[in-house]
Structure 1
Amino acid sequence: MKTKKFLAAGIAGAVVNFLLGWVFYGMLFQDSFPQPEENSTTMLMIFLGCLSLGLFMAYIFGQWAQISTGGTGAKAGAIISLFIALYFDFFQLAMNSDVTYQMVGLDIAIMVVMGAITGAVVGIVNGKMG
C-alpha cells in the first residue's frame, strides 16, 4: 500500500465525515442529540475521531479489499459504519440512562448514511491515486 494514497484517502474521508457530522448532528438533528461544548479541545477530539474512521476505511479499502470506486466504497462504508454504530450504541444503551431506543435508531441510520458517503469518497480517492 502506498503511504501517500493511504493518507490522501484517509484525510479526505476524515474531512467529509467531519463536515457530515456537523450537518447531521449539529444542524439537522441537533434537537435529538446532546450537543458538545464548543471549545477547541472538543472539536479537535471530534476531528481525531473522524480521522480515525477515515484512515481505518482507507486501510481496509487499500490494503485488504482493493476498493477503488465510489459505489463499492459506499457499500463497504455503510456496512463498516453499521457495525461500528451497533457496537457503540449498544454500549450507550447499557451505560447511559439518558439514551433512548429512538436515539439509537436515528444514530444508526445517520452513521450508515455518513459511512456510505465517507466510504464513497475514500474509494474515489483510492481509484484516482491508483
Structure 2
Amino acid sequence: MKWTKVLFVGVLTGIFAFFFGWLVFGVLMPGSMEYGVEGFARAEDGMVWWAMILSNILWGLLLAYIFIRWASISTWWTGFKAALVIGFLVTAAFDAGLYSMTNMFESLTAFLMDVLINTVYTAILGAFAGWLAGKNWV
C-alpha cells in the first residue's frame, strides 16, 4: 500500500514539477536560469526532453519517499517546511561543488541566487507532495 502511494505521489509531484518549472522558469522568470551562467544552458531546440522529464519525476519520487516512508508527512505545510530544508541542503551542496570546481557560476551572487530560487521551488513542490500524501486516494 505505501509503495503504491509513494509511486502515485511521486509521479504526480514530478508532473507538477515539470509544469510548475515551465511556469516559473519559462514564463514568469525566463532569465533566472541564465543568471551568471551565460552560455551554459542548451537552446530550447537542443533540450533533451526525456532527461528533463526524468529529472522532475525523480525529484517527485525523492520527496514522496522521504515524506511517506520516513517522515509520515501528510499536510502541505509540513511538506513545505521539510522540502525547504531538503531543497536548500541538496541545492547548496551541489552548487557549492560546482562553484568550487567549474566556471558554471560567474560570481558568488549567481551561486547564491541559484540556491535561493531552487530552495523555494523545491519547497513548493514539497507543499504539493505533502498535500497529496495526505489524501486517501491510494
TM over 0.5: yes
* Gap change, CA 1:43 and 1:53, over 3 Å in 2: same
Is 2:91 the counterpart of 1:85? yes
Q: 1:105 offset after TM fit, Å?
A: 0.9
Matches for 1:56-71 after TM superposition, within 5 Å = 56-71=62-77
Conserved in 1, the CA contact under 8 Å of 2:74 and 2:132? yes
Please tell me the residue identity of whatever aligns with 1:93: Y
Conserved in 2, the CA contact under 8 Å of 1:12 and 1:121? no
Conserved in 1, the CA contact under 8 Å of 2:2 and 2:69? no
Aligned length: 130
Which range moved further: 98-107 or 16-25?
16-25
TM-score of the two chains, using structure 2 as the length reference: 0.83
Please tell me the residue identity of whatever aligns with 1:103: A
Q: 2:125 is matched with which residue?
A: 118
Q: What are the superposed Cα offsets for residues 19-69 of structure 1, whole Å, 9 maximum, x if unpaired? A: 232233334125424432335761211221111111011001001100000
Conserved in 2, the CA contact under 8 Å of 1:70 and 1:119? yes
Q: Which runs of 5+ in 2 are unaligned?
A: none
TM-score of the two chains, using structure 1 as the length reference: 0.87
User: C-alpha root-mean-square deviation of aligned residues, in Å?
Assistant: 2.0
1:96 to 86, 102, 111: 102
Q: 2:115 is matched with which residue?
A: 108
Report the structure, 1 or 2, having the larger helix content: 1
2:56 to 50, 60, 65: 50
Please tell me the residue identity of whatever aligns with 2:42: P
Is 2:26 the counterpart of 1:19? no
Please tell me the residue identity of whatever aligns with 1:78: L
Q: Which runs of 5+ in 1 are unaligned?
A: none
Conserved in 2, the CA contact under 8 Å of 1:9 and 1:121? no
- What percentage of aligned pairs have identical amino acids? 31
